[in-house]
Structure 1
């Protein structure tokens, strides 16, 4: 079962402007989307903040280590009407806050039947999700906020904080079903997150030079004198040690974009104080080609010639003109 992106909509900025496909490319053979938080499936408005209680919760009978696929016993008795949350394994990473992005594995099971309806462990692909109202299940928001990366968290989400009266028929979740989840939170990211790795020498005077600061502030981009390159440029500024990106991956990034001509900034996650996540299949060719094969944790200079950017059809209302060469610094924070 291949999930659809956790995001409810493409983020602001470049990805929104560049996205040209529907969600079918990320749906996989089953045609099912994730039960995690599609806008059409989740409750139309957020309920009041729930009361958090410690149980009841079904026992984890196998796969008890962090990162292992857990097996849950079938629940007995009635679930709590409140949100039951338990930290099974306490991590020592960064504390998760509202609006953070998480990289995590999870398993979901229906309380009444014990049926497992989804899990990322078998797919060997953790999810990337933003802990934000309207971007994911309300139960996840409240259960995971305040926990630390590296933690295993078990929760039982009553319908009001899951899919409410709509349920999720694709996954056999009825309107009355309480859902049980086990989350292994691998990492958390926020607007101050930056690349981590080895600084790479920038010796080519014909391409822009990018700042190497990793303090969460936007790096500088110095445009050289001379003509813009006619071919795609994609070079490490900081080389991370994470896995290489595939052309089908979803990535989480910080980025800033400027025009080669004049160096004017036209887009930046740093200015919005918000990261962005997208599929490499949903962006301009210069991004998909330039980032494919690069390592997670890296900062990459990407110079996109018009034929791999917007060409003679720039986004309406933007500062990008026809046949503009675009220059980006991209910090690759995570992938799924």
Structure 2
């Protein structure tokens, strides 16, 4: 697990890592102590919501118990579990010495997005539900916020000031937009319309390209996917030439959600820049897929074909 603020853009990982001592911690929702309020251990926050805050720390050792405090309650819609919040955040290492700021989205001028779910430490899950859009939350995340490995050294207590800008709209159910009529030679995609799954056919005598091929089947009108985002997608995957299906989120009845940077290179390269709401078909050569390594249901050196609906990106 990356240390807090190693990459400011990866906010869900930042928030999860804030109390972590290692990559091997347990789910914070099951190990965190009960969140407490009461001034967040003497930390004081001044300044207006919408601007970088000023944080003053008490003298002495940093807090060892996680807590939160609502600094400004906000006047917009209430935050609910499952929301994907757009927020500005400023983070400090509370070490009792320099208490240095680790980063702020007010400096980068790029608000971040984080999902309010069980992957967050309990103190943040609870704190977020006590605030509305336009509000400001102070959270102290000490080493009690997640389980520690016995060999892992304790990490500095983190202090987060989080200003809630708004929330991402819910994910789409399926691609929506205008059909382009485009395709990959040898591959067929049938679009039934509405929220029904497309049909992908890859049985062909055509030779697959040795390069990545991406064609837009339905042109969405949402924001373009960026490489550091987490995506919600529906997809079906088959092997070129055989029509053998090895995976389908449609058949599971549940879209997949994952950081784009955590999947095969063909997906990373193929989906970056695709507008949300689009349906694309991708032919992925072995060197951008699984290469010489066979996977469950996928022989080594396979060319993979996916039809993907990009339902949300945050």
Q: CA deviation at 1:195?
A: 6.3
In structure 1, the partner of 2:257 is 276
Matched, 1:287 2:257: no
Report the secondary structure of 1:121's partner residue.
helix
In structure 1, the partner of 2:22 is 40
In structure 2, the partner of 1:298 is 278
In structure 2, the partner of 1:106 is 89
Inter-partner Cα distance in structure 1 for 2:306 and 2:37 = 47
Larger radius of gyration: 2
Q: Deviations over 1:83-103 (max 9, x none)?
A: 32355434348x5315x5545
User: How big is the alpha-carbon RMSD for the aligned residues of Structure 1 and Structure 2?
Assistant: 4.4
Inter-partner Cα distance in structure 2 for 1:103 and 1:212 = 34
Matched, 1:198 2:177: yes
In structure 2, the partner of 1:58 is 44
In structure 2, the partner of 1:320 is 298
In structure 1, the partner of 2:70 is 85
In structure 2, the partner of 1:159 is 142
- Map 1:144-183 → 2, pairs under 5 A: 144-145=128-129, 150-157=133-140, 159=142, 162=145, 167-168=154-155, 173-174=156-157, 179-183=159-163
Inter-partner Cα distance in structure 1 for 2:127 and 2:193 = 34
Q: CA deviation at 1:50?
A: 2.7
Q: Deviations over 1:143-195 (max 9, x none)?
A: 124756x5433123363664799653xxxx34xx7x242233543477x5446
Inter-partner Cα distance in structure 1 for 2:304 and 2:146 = 45
In structure 2, the partner of 1:239 is 220
Q: Deviations over 1:264-303 (max 9, x none)?
A: 25142883846423244x4333212212332345343323
Q: CA deviation at 1:139?
A: 1.9
The 3 A distance-change label for structure 1 pair 274 and 262 is: closer
Residues 6, 36 of structure 1: 8 Å contact kept: no
Matched, 1:140 2:124: yes
Normalised by the length of structure 1, the TM-score is 0.64
Runs of 5+ consecutive residues of structure 2 not aligned to the other structure: none
Residues 255, 270 of structure 1: 8 Å contact kept: no
Q: Deviations over 1:230-271 (max 9, x none)?
A: 2333233232331453xx533323132321433525142883
Inter-partner Cα distance in structure 1 for 2:250 and 2:19 = 23
Inter-partner Cα distance in structure 2 for 1:284 and 1:158 = 33
Q: 1:3 aligns with which of 4, 7, 11?
A: 7
Q: CA deviation at 1:81?
A: 7.4
In structure 2, the partner of 1:70 is 52
Inter-partner Cα distance in structure 2 for 1:42 and 1:57 = 30
Matched, 1:96 2:99: no
Normalised by the length of structure 2, the TM-score is 0.68
The 3 A distance-change label for structure 1 pair 120 and 41 is: farther
Residues 297, 334 of structure 1: 8 Å contact kept: no
Residues 244, 292 of structure 1: 8 Å contact kept: yes
In structure 2, the partner of 1:250 is 229
